């Protein structure tokens, strides 16, 4: 579990305006941890901050920033100046619309890489150094079961999710001996506004997890890194990793592509 005593008084939630970020925010506030919400939509964050302040005796600040912007780290550094960020939750990482890479607009492909690769690396490096110096802290990078194999029309997205897993594994090896808990949380379809906005979420045959259940699982299993997978996904995760790569890619493609039977 995350706690103020073990990890520190402040948590930074990147992707903290809605969905899974909202569920984590409530649970951290209930644990008496102050929050800095980081996302693009200031209005949504203000509404969530007001809700949390009304329910819990914690301080909540917001930082409106684009995690893909070149000056993102400078913006976040300024917003966290003087705060002991003991927990970093990097939740942002939506995939957008599926495209074959050769047809995908370059700015969309680059944005996926910046959000899922550059952004989380920059924040993990920046805040991880202070956590290591204090010998306490927690870093959780939220990834996807899509990390286990590439997929047609989602090549960049699945590659970026693979990076999240491997980065967390390396950070776990480096930082756990220094008192910092690290884990990659690999989730499947989760009922979030981002999923509803994405064509990736249109496969009605796939089960959808609830954000509160995912957040509860993640916080209960933080110390079980470097990779934590909800029980209902563990068999699929292990199976896809162990099978021949061609078969894994074929299965991943079928599972992530929108189903034509559901299209109007």
pLDDT tens by residue, 64-101: 999 999 999 999 999 999 999 999 999 998 777 899 99
**Which residues are registered as beta bridge partners of 90?**
14, 141
pTM recorded for the entire structure: 0.91
Q: Tens of pLDDT along 144-184?
A: 999 999 999 999 999 999 999 999 999 999 999 999 999 99
Could you give the C-alpha distances from 248 to 95, 132, 243, in angstroms and in order?
20, 37, 6
pLDDT at position 205 is: 53
What the block records as the tokens of 163 is 């990076």
What the block records as the tokens of 157 is 């997205």
Distance between CA atoms of 24 and 13, rounded to whole angstroms? 8
Across the chain, mean pLDDT equals: 91
DSSP string, 161-177: HHHHHHHHHHHHHHHGG
Length of the chain in terms of residues written: 264
pLDDT at position 176 is: 98
Q: Evaluate the CA torsion angle 125, 130, 135, 137 in order and state its sign.
A: negative
């Amino acid at each position: 579990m995350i706690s103020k005593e073990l990890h520190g008084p402040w948590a930074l939630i990147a992707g903290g305006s809605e969905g899974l970020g909202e569920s984590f925010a409530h649970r951290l506030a209930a644990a008496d941890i102050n929050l800095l919400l980081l996302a693009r939509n200031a209005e949504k964050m203000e509404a969530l901050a007001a809700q949390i302040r009304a329910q819990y005796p914690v301080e909540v600040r917001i930082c409106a920033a684009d995690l893909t912007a070149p000056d993102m780290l400078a913006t976040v550094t300024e917003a966290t100046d003087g705060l002991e960020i003991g927990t970093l939750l990097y939740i942002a990482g939506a995939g957008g619309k599926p495209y074959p890479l050769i047809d995908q607009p370059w700015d969309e492909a680059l944005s996926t890489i910046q959000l899922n690769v550059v952004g989380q690396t920059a924040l993990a490096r920046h805040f991880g150094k202070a956590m290591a110096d204090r010998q306490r802290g927690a870093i959780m990078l939220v990834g996807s079961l899509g990390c286990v194999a590439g997929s047609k029309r989602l090549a960049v997205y699945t590659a970026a999710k693979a990076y999240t897993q491997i980065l967390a594994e390396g950070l776990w090896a480096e930082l756990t001996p220094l008192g910092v808990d690290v884990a990659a949380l690999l989730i499947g379809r989760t009922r979030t506004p981002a999923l509803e906005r994405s064509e990736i979420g249109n496969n009605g045959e796939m089960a959808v997890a609830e954000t509160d259940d995912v957040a509860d699982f993640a916080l209960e299993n933080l110390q079980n890194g470097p990779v934590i997978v909800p029980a209902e996904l563990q068999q699929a995760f292990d199976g896809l990793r162990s099978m021949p790569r061609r078969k894994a890619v074929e299965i991943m493609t079928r599972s992530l592509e929108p189903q034509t039977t559901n299209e109007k």
